[in-house]
Structure 1
């Protein structure tokens, strides 16, 4: 309904980053010809990166599986990619063909389960490779899913995916003061997951579902934001607590399962910290 994915993920990513550069940014004149698309044309960009136009075109088409580190480094440098974007470029240029297309549902690693179960005074969420909710403690549920009926830790819910919830659950827009930035960050996380697990059918199905269901998702997806949300500070609008500001630290597992834990905290001495403590005390009394 709202768009067809690009046949070449690396091409879509590179085109989005070429679009950010203007001729003046790289010492080229703007010229008199009207530009049909923003940013640098292939024939302008390729010489700057030290490759032929033909070779660069094939790279955008995904037809250069043996591209060298030197070429990728030159392209990343010319496009002014940050560290996460550069890593993403490498993954797209050299997709992991060993990954099974039938990866199956995430099963939470025992070590991450222990982290979730051991923390009671801070909100904690465990997420999977495609940003599925895998587990949460009571405080996280009370804060982030107050209108959802899945209070038992570990129980799955049809909406229990961060990115799907951002775009398809009206609660997300009520909860997040800056919903737009939250949505962009979620798409950035999913972009990285799609690059890391290119044959994962669950990730592909989620992307296809959201492309069909949400024009806003398509708009953001096609800008190709990249990020892993390692540390984020957000403002929340809770129906019982009012507004509070929390910082989340995302701790990724060291293996290749793609799982991680987000631990939320408030600034020491802040009103948000007092609200968290009050909520934790109320939950402890109710148990």
Structure 2
């Protein structure tokens, strides 16, 4: 699964004095008791910071990263509406020379860890994820809200399949199978285009927490914005063997109950097809990350086999 991926950016280590300097600008009354690095994720550097006012999450973004803008926007839209961590402070001027965010800390377990440990999720968790997805997707969004208009979705695959790194890492045989699948599903690609909304854009179990009361929290909104609703769903069900067929049906029922727009009848297949473009895009990255590229190829192979190609 995704937990074996190499980091895209090195973990940024700080001293206690650095944490104290950042927190002093947030609240001078806070005293840091301890701070602990959280060694998960591929981009940001996260710390659990214990203080006299309870625990906080300190997130340090890579140098010159601007994902905090999307985080702030998502917080303004969804905080208090669905379970997302409370964003308390954003610092763009501090000792790290990086943007730092302070959140209320969520005591809980990563949903990805739950799946790895138990091999499955409880039915109630599936319902809560479906409800959250529907409420997120109920938010309308226009591409030009961010001054950026994307090309039609059916053109995306060739953009990535024609990259040299992708060809090398996929191999000729698998690349041709992907091309045949995409060519034969062009009509479905155009259907996917009809389901657009505000989306999380990284709606994987790795970005969901289950707290001590069994509530689901959606975290890491740095890529959120306008997009295909089925992209989020495809990411959640990427490792579809971890879900029972009854849970997939329950997801549909719950999603449609809360959504302003019902899923299409073949939503699961469409979401798998939509998610196929994500590992292809990541496979074109520069640098040596053998574990990540191996898993991405396995995801692509699994999707192609899902469609019997």
Q: Tell me if TM exceeds 0.5.
A: no
Return the structure number with greater strand share: 2
Of the two, which has the highest radius of gyration? Answer: 1
Normalization by structure 2: what TM-score?
Answer: 0.27
